[in-house]
Amino acid sequence: MLSRYRGCMLGAAIGDALGMPQETLPPSLSRLDEGYAKPLRRHPNEGLRPGQFTDDTQMMLCAAELLGEGAFTPEEYGRKLAAMHARKRLRFPDGAVATACAHITAGLHDSGRASTTAGCMPLAVPFALVCKDGDEMRECLQAACRVTHTHPAAYGATISYALFLRAVMHRHPDPFRVAEEIAGEYDSQLAGSIRNACVLEKEGLSLEAALINVGNDVSVYHTYPLALFLISRFGHDDAFLKVATHVGGNTDTIGFICGSWLGAAEGTAGFSSEMVMHLEDQAYIEETAELLFDVVSGKN
């Protein structure tokens, strides 16, 4: 199980780093890069090097550190996130996250925005790993999401994703059904989008057509269902993460979700040693995963 903890967090960061240079760009499925790449000039992430990750992994680690120390509260998470943003260390955050951080820095209450963007979805990973009780996790994760996102679809997608990961790690026979059912408890449109993506995958719809039908933008109605489509279609293919991070649009978060699934399913064995070695802060990410494992195991 420790390998799956490490793999889930490493995989999220690896997928994020692979998708980082493709974020906001059109699909490029005919030219899949091998390994990490540098963003184009004038790209929002142009200051990042190959193997560096985006705000998605930063937010995952921010929450994971606090959870591992037993110090997580929505307020403390918000303060830590806002401090990173104020120092211009938060890498190309989505609009809801940036606005929430600005409100926290200004001392305003109710920082969260009624946004359906996927900016809070990275919180799913540390909460999925550290919370033993699913109901307690839902409550705590919803409160954490509401620091930046108050729309039910946004925190519903994040909770669905967290329980999807738990289902994968514990070998549930149908984690995709879990994802759809949990999403439906928060937002019927989100559940419908997930169901549509899964049906289209089973029917054999081409990826190119799925990008039009399902969508690839920053909305949870597109990002999350498309990631589930990709996992179902390509999850056991050697080119899985390469394909997932070249679908255009919100590729960093799509890659993050797909990579976390691969790590939850296969542990660290799901990634080449070279991919792990050249990932930014890989040792620290593994240490943080181990800290969360120790919390669950009762060692801390």
The model's pLDDT over 129-177, given as tens digits with 9 standing for 90+, comes to 999 899 999 999 999 999 999 999 999 999 999 999 999 999 999 999 9
Instruction: Give pLDDT, residue 19.
Output: 98
Q: Which two tokens stand for residue 240?
A: 């899985």
pLDDT of residue 31: 87
Spatial distance between the Cα atoms of 32 and 166, rounded to a whole number of angstroms: 30
Q: What dotted CATH number matches 2-297?
A: 1.10.4080.10
Q: How many percent of the chain have pLDDT more than 70?
A: 100
Q: Is 16 annotated as a binding residue?
A: no
If pLDDT is split at 50, 70 and 90, which confidence band does 109 have? confident
Above 80 in pLDDT, residue 298?
yes
Backbone angles phi, psi at 113, to 5 degrees: -110, 150
pLDDT digits (tens, 9 = 90+) for 21-36: 999 999 999 989 889 9
Does the annotation flag 56 for ligand binding?
Answer: yes
Task: State mean pLDDT over 81-102.
Answer: 97
Q: How far apart are CA 120 and CA 144, in angstroms?
A: 8
Q: Is residue 209 scored above 70 in pLDDT?
A: yes
pLDDT at res. 34: 82
Q: What's the CA angle centered on 163, arms 209 and 262, to 5 degrees?
A: 60
Average pLDDT over residues 90-94: 95
Q: Could you identify the residue written with the tokens 């026979």?
A: 173
The Cα 8–Cα 19 span in angstroms is 16
pTM of the model: 0.98
Say whether 253 counts as a known binding-site residue.
Answer: yes
Share above pLDDT 90 across residues of the chain, in percent, rounded to a whole number: 97
Q: Encode pLDDT of 114-125 as tens digits.
A: 999 999 999 999
pLDDT at 139: 97
Beta strands per DSSP E along 196-273? none
Return the pLDDT at 33. 82
Q: Is the pLDDT score of 222 beyond 80?
A: yes
Average pLDDT on 199-207 reads 98
**Dist. CA 279–CA 285, nearest whole Å:** 10
pLDDT of residue 194: 99
Mean pLDDT of the chain: 97
- The pLDDT assigned to 300 comes to 63
* Structural domain spans, the chain: 2-297
Q: Which whole-number Å values give the CA distances from 240 to 29, 60, 225, in the listed order?
A: 12, 22, 16
Beta strands in 144-263 (DSSP E): none
